[in-house]
Structure 1
């Protein structure tokens, strides 16, 4: 099934991330970070099909080496909260062969990224599909945020644009410094550029679909922009699918299950609303009175018209029974006029929309808390090992101990960097996080209950 997924984030030190480690993971290689003094080894990662670095003509040729490139990026950034690279995650199409997908990805990157002077490091992944599942081929792209100048040296991310008065003179602030705005030197991070890239990828895939004579198409726009009243699912990823295959329920898949049920409810609600509106239009077309009739009047008219065509008392009694049931329903819902009936489905639709926004916000926070708790577990598990390493005096013994506990230490240091802003008096608010997550989960379940009630109401 044709799929559009085009996600971009930033790799930054403020989130405890290493651009060298990120590149090693995506390419399935072993790389050494000079900035952190750590080695990231992902050579056993089995789903990497290929990886490649694409350079603009003015980039130093040595940057074709992955370790050299990303260590140069780390060295160029001095800030503790520096933004290092853009990271893209883009879905490939199962309708194309792997070679067609790779050629399409390379063409897209050359035409849209390298042509702008960007350095591109991309890797194609194809995780093993589960039994009965579908393949999930995709490619990762990493691009340094800092541009390379024509002389091959790293340039500036921003430039100063001074604020001028009506005479064209610079304006001073209260501290007698010239006021200025920090303006990006490139348009790589602008929403307009991202929109252009998303559309360019969709257009390229759609052209390939047409070339192969396939009817499927993808659209880079959100459901809302397409006018589709549907909640989007969240990206599950291979690790989540592996857990589900083992019978372990996950929040992401639970949320997607709820989304599928809610979308089905929305479609059914929309059909019912449209049916009601069509019925109301037919009824209004028959009315010529200056004042709108009551719903009871309309029901009586409808029943009388049906009785005109009835050939037996049994049919007339059945019409009367349906009339009585409809009248009882309208009375129980306090519906007296056509406007009341029209407004009721819209009010329910508004409730559904509110539930949709609430569920999305809660799921986002649950995802954030799960990540913090995962990092906290890494920290708790690795703290004794790190303390033990710090107490070993002899270098040979230290290296042996470090080698034996490499994975634990690596995840501990990563967690320590990421959790640094959350420490209070040397402690992490783990209990508070767990309580908040439990509360959000209960509220999410309550939201699902309200959704079912609204479905019954519609």
Structure 2
């Protein structure tokens, strides 16, 4: 199945991350960090197909060595909270061969969109083994230094100062007497517009390859909302959840996504039927507008008259009579006597579906929020001892050392605490309350889903009515044509043109 997945994050020291460790993990190598004085060994990592360093023409040749490159990046970044690299993850397509097509396409993309901009690219291609025959997940990771490189091969600056000026062109000072300025990036690599361009470019290249291979599939870099696709979004499962699902272990995230997909299938079916029936009504109205054309009820009567005439057994006649009664009772019960009535019924269904979709969007968003809060709660509990350890330290130097050693965990603890406080302002975290709310939302979903199915069942009845009318129209047309053919031909004497 064609898939679009394209994410980018930053590798930062403020999160306790290392460019060397990130590069080693993605390439499955053992690399030494001069900055930290330690090795990062991922030589046992499975699923790494190949890796490469793609350099712009002005980059030093020694940067083709991964360890040399990233130690140079670490050395150029002096701040303890420095941003080191952009980290990308992009899915490859199962419809393409891995080496001849996927990797070749990815390399072309990287050279065209990144190396051409002067960026250095450290790329690794992954494909995890599927021992149980599951769907492969080929993808590639690549790291790019955030700091640009000058034409002489030295590292440049990330930002430049743009001072704020008054009306006379003089620099403005703040309350402390310092000049006010804005930090302006020296490249557009981190801008949302550039990321959007990269995402679109990758989708276009994959779609061109699909077309070249004659495959009737496409991917779209836009979200459902931007595409105008009125469906519920699924949640990201992650490698661990996917692995459990492939082994037959049903997970909460897997169940949630199965629910979303089933609901989306019903919504798509309903909207398709409504659209087709509206098109048919427009055509039928045009036909019924012609002189001496039978109305909706007359056409249905014609259909069942034909069915009755074609039934040779008593059982067939009874079956036809039963179906006719059910159809007429259904139409009468719902006040459908004309095409306008039928059109009104469809419009009512469309309004109902829109309302149900809005309700389900709200339910879906809240259920996702509760799931996130559950994760935050679990993380908070696991990291609370780290935070408590900091509170026990009284000496400033010891506290600073402890903060440095546990920076990543403390940052995560503060984040989860803030998220939980937003939900529970009084500080009393009641996950039992959220669990009950989640159960209630699940029950409400079942009710909403049942309403969707009710609409679909009614549309199936209307579709049956439409099919019967089409049959009657075709029969009447054939009958009219046969009558016309059976009429005696009247011959007129040829006028004498010589008169």
- Could you say whether these structures have the same fold, taking a TM-score greater than 0.5 normalized by the shorter chain as the test? yes
Query: Are the equivalent residues in 2 in contact too, given 1:88–1:140 (CA < 8 A)?
Result: yes
Query: Are the equivalent residues in 2 in contact too, given 1:303–1:320 (CA < 8 A)?
Result: no
Cα deviations by residue, 1:73-98 (Å, 9 ceiling, x for unpaired)? 34444555443321111111223332
SS in 2 for 1:432: coil
Alpha-carbon separation, structure 1, partners of 2:11 and 2:373: 17
Aligned residue among 350, 368, 373 for 1:363:
368
Task: Name whichever of 434-443 and 178-187 sits farther off.
Answer: 434-443
RMSD: 4.1
Tell me what 2:158 maps to: 157
Aligned residue among 451, 454, 468 for 1:454:
451
Alpha-carbon separation, structure 2, partners of 1:228 and 1:448: 21
Alpha-carbon separation, structure 2, partners of 1:250 and 1:415: 26
- The within-5 A match list for 1:158-237 is 158-165=159-166, 167-173=168-174, 177-237=178-238
- The within-5 A match list for 1:231-250 is 231-250=232-251
1:253 Cα deviation from its structure 2 partner: 1.7
1:181 Cα deviation from its structure 2 partner: 2.8
Alpha-carbon separation, structure 2, partners of 1:344 and 1:47: 50
Query: Are the equivalent residues in 1 in contact too, given 2:380–2:416 (CA < 8 A)?
Result: no
Query: Are the equivalent residues in 2 in contact too, given 1:352–1:454 (CA < 8 A)?
Result: no
5+ residue gaps in structure 2?
290-294, 309-316, 391-404, 419-423, 456-499
Alpha-carbon separation, structure 1, partners of 2:376 and 2:23: 21
SS in 2 for 1:140: strand
Alpha-carbon separation, structure 1, partners of 2:13 and 2:130: 33
Q: Over alpha carbons, which structure has the higher Rg?
A: 2
1:196 Cα deviation from its structure 2 partner: 1.8
Query: Are the equivalent residues in 2 in contact too, given 1:34–1:71 (CA < 8 A)?
Result: yes
TM-score normalized by the length of structure 2: 0.69
Tell me what 2:489 maps to: none
Task: Name whichever of 183-192 and 5-14 sits farther off.
Answer: 5-14
Aligned residue among 327, 330, 339 for 1:325:
330
Task: Name whichever of 163-172 and 126-135 sits farther off.
Answer: 163-172
Query: Are the equivalent residues in 1 in contact too, given 2:134–2:246 (CA < 8 A)?
Result: no
SS in 2 for 1:121: strand
Q: 1:457 to 1:168 in 2, by over 3 A?
A: farther
Cα deviations by residue, 1:220-260 (Å, 9 ceiling, x for unpaired)? 33334444333444443432222223443223322221221
Q: Does 1:373 align with 2:378?
A: yes
Tell me what 1:419 maps to: 413
Tell me what 2:117 maps to: 116
Query: Are the equivalent residues in 2 in contact too, given 1:366–1:440 (CA < 8 A)?
Result: no
Tell me what 1:252 maps to: 253
1:272 Cα deviation from its structure 2 partner: 3.3
Cα deviations by residue, 1:94-147 (Å, 9 ceiling, x for unpaired)? 233322222222221122111112121111001012424221111001112222
1:4 Cα deviation from its structure 2 partner: 2.3
Q: 1:14 to 1:353 in 2, by over 3 A?
A: farther
Query: Are the equivalent residues in 1 in contact too, given 2:278–2:346 (CA < 8 A)?
Result: no
TM-score normalized by the length of structure 1: 0.74
Alpha-carbon separation, structure 1, partners of 2:145 and 2:440: 41
Tell me what 1:403 maps to: none
Query: Are the equivalent residues in 2 in contact too, given 1:28–1:45 (CA < 8 A)?
Result: yes
